[in-house]
């Protein structure tokens, strides 16, 4: 396929390189001038789009996605697909899809989970919103860039799945860190706590697969001085999107709101910036009951 790829950052560059390695013709563009292996560089976003069967975007947020969509949609061939893999707000995803479909294009929102390691290894999971036809067009690309693509329904539903997942992730990580800090103060050995909870009803991905306590469970950022991994700033972004969506859908999300407040404070007022989101554990270790 001919692929345009816009946004060659930490995630986009390895994704684009994997598509080129698989034999697709990939033309990329990034305002920062970054490049990806095997990918021809274009001088504008539009130039990636004119010959493309699929234009992929991997951008920081919804406002930038909307601006890029304004540039590339008029340049795309009728029937081509605009595939956005960024994490953005549900409303921007739906607005861009409407704009693309009105111009005779297919559109998909397909945010990912798996992080930079998954982007490099081609093992991302895609959560996808859009039509069956557009999903079928993009399926071979999902197979190169990832190991699983779940079609979640119409446009916006991929973003909805992503923010619901990450709201659960943020909340379970916080409560897992609280529980370890409480266990310490009660004199309960961390390894014993892990042995019990990881096979009891308190288990979760945050505890079992990404344990915030160093030296316990499988290897995780806690074993690497809390270097990300998944940076706390990105958790603030995703929780912000979840709470914004909850407001616009009139959904009650008190724990999600509290998780957002705690991660925002961690990043803006404490030492969370640049640290993995599991570094909430040393934060709680230093604190008493209030
Ligand atoms: P990044 O900042 O490394 O990359 C974004 C790139 O977009 C940058 O290189 C930037 O120069 C480029 N860009 C900005 N405006 C542009 C424009 N108008 N035209 C062309 N390029 C432009 O970010 P990232 O870590 O690659 O994340 C990209 C997206 O993936 C985000 O939405 C993020 O939330 C999501 N995501 C990231 C991770 C992760 O672990 N990094 C995991 C899952 C999802």
Q: Tell me, what's the pLDDT at 218? A: 95
Mean pLDDT of 274-281: 98
Angstrom distance (rounded) from CA 84 to CA 239: 20
Angstrom distance (rounded) from CA 176 to CA 210: 11
For ligand 1, atom 9, name the residue with the nearest CA. 9
234 SS3 class? helix
Mean pLDDT of 166-184: 98
Percent of the chain whose predicted confidence (pLDDT) is above 90: 98
Q: Tell me, what's the pLDDT at 192? A: 98
Task: Tell me, in angstroms, the distance from the centre of ligand 1 to residue 234's CA.
Answer: 11
Task: Tell me, in angstroms, the distance from the centre of ligand 1 to residue 7's CA.
Answer: 6
**Ligand 1: lining residues by beta carbon, under 6 Å:** 6-12, 29-32, 34, 45, 58-60, 64, 68, 86-87, 112, 115-116, 230, 234, 237
Cis peptide before 229 (omega within 30 of 0): yes
Angstrom distance (rounded) from CA 53 to CA 76: 8
Would you give the distance in Å from CA 54 to the centre of its chain?
Answer: 20
Token duo for residue 120: 């490099």
Residue 290 in this model has a pLDDT that exceeds 90 = no
Per-residue pLDDT tens over the stretch 178-224: 999 999 999 999 999 999 999 999 999 999 999 999 999 999 999 99
- Ligand 1: which of 28, 35, 49, 59 to mutate, judged by most atoms within 8 Å of the beta carbon? 59
- Ligand 1: which of 4, 7, 275 to mutate, judged by most atoms within 8 Å of the beta carbon? 7
Q: Tell me, what's the pLDDT at 50? A: 98
Q: Decide: pTM greater than 0.80.
A: yes
Nearest atom (ligand 1) to Cα of 238:
34
Whether 162 sits among the annotated catalytic residues: the reply is yes
Nearest atom (ligand 1) to Cα of 86:
32
Per-residue pLDDT tens over the stretch 52-67: 999 999 999 999 999 9
Strand pairing partners for 148?
A: 125
pLDDT greater at residue 290 or residue 101: 101
CA angle 208, 214, 219 (to 5 degrees): 55
Task: Tell me, in angstroms, the distance from the centre of ligand 1 to residue 86's CA.
Answer: 7
Task: Tell me, in angstroms, the distance from the centre of ligand 1 to residue 20's CA.
Answer: 19
Q: Tell me, what's the pLDDT at 118? A: 93
Residue of 279, 285, 258 lying closest to 267 (CA atoms): 279
Per-residue pLDDT tens over the stretch 215-250: 999 999 999 999 998 999 999 999 999 999 999 999
For ligand 1, atom 8, name the residue with the nearest CA. 9
Task: Tell me, in angstroms, the distance from the centre of ligand 1 to residue 57's CA.
Answer: 9
Confidence of residue 278 (pLDDT cuts 50, 70, 90): very high
Identified catalytic residue from 21, 35, 77, 162:
162
Q: Tell me, what's the pLDDT at 8? A: 98
Mean pLDDT of the residues in the chain: 97
Task: Tell me, in angstroms, the distance from the centre of ligand 1 to residue 130's CA.
Answer: 21
Residue 122 in this model has a pLDDT that exceeds 80 = yes
DSSP labels for 152-175? Answer: EESTTHHHHHHHHHHHHHHHHHHH
Mean pLDDT of 136-140: 98
Percent of the chain whose predicted confidence (pLDDT) is above 70: 100
Q: What ipTM describes this predicted complex?
A: 0.99
DSSP state of 204: -
Q: Tell me, what's the pLDDT at 28? A: 98
Angstrom distance (rounded) from CA 252 to CA 249: 9
DSSP state of 87: -
Residue 1 in this model has a pLDDT that exceeds 90 = yes
């Amino acid at each position: 396929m001919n692929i345009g790829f816009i946004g060659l950052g930490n995630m986009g560059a390895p994704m684009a390189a994997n598509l080129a390695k698989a034999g697709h013709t990939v033309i990329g563009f990034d305002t920062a001038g970054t490049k990806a292996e095997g990918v021809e560089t274009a001088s504008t976003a539009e130039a990636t789009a004119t010959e493309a069967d699929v234009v992929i975007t991997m951008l920081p947020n919804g406002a930038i996605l909307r601006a890029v969509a304004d540039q590339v949609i008029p340049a795309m061939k009728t029937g081509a697909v605009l595939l956005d893999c960024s994490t953005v707000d549900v409303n921007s995803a739906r607005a861009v899809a409407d704009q693309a479909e009105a111009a005779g294009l297919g559109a998909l929102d397909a945010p990912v989970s798996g992080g930079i390691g998954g982007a490099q290894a081609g093992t991302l999971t895609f959560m996808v919103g859009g039509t069956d036809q557009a999903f079928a067009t993009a399926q071979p690309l999902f197979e190169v860039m990832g190991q699983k693509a779940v079609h979640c329904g119409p446009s916006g539903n991929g973003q909805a799945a992503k923010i619901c997942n990450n709201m659960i992730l943020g909340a379970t990580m916080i409560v897992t860190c609280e529980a370890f800090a409480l266990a310490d103060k009660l004199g309960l050995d961390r390894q014993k706590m892990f042995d019990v909870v990881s096979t009891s009803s308190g288990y979760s991905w945050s505890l079992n697969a990404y344990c915030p306590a160093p030296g316990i469970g499988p290897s995780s950022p806690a074993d690497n001085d809390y270097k990300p991994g998944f940076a706390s700033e990105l958790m603030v972004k995703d929780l912000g999107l979840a709470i914004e969506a909850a407001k616009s859908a009139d959904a009650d999300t008190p724990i999600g709101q509290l998780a957002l407040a705690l991660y925002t404070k961690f990043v803006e007022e404490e030492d969370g910036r640049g640290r993995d989101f599991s570094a909430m554990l040393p934060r709680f270790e230093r604190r008493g009951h209030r």
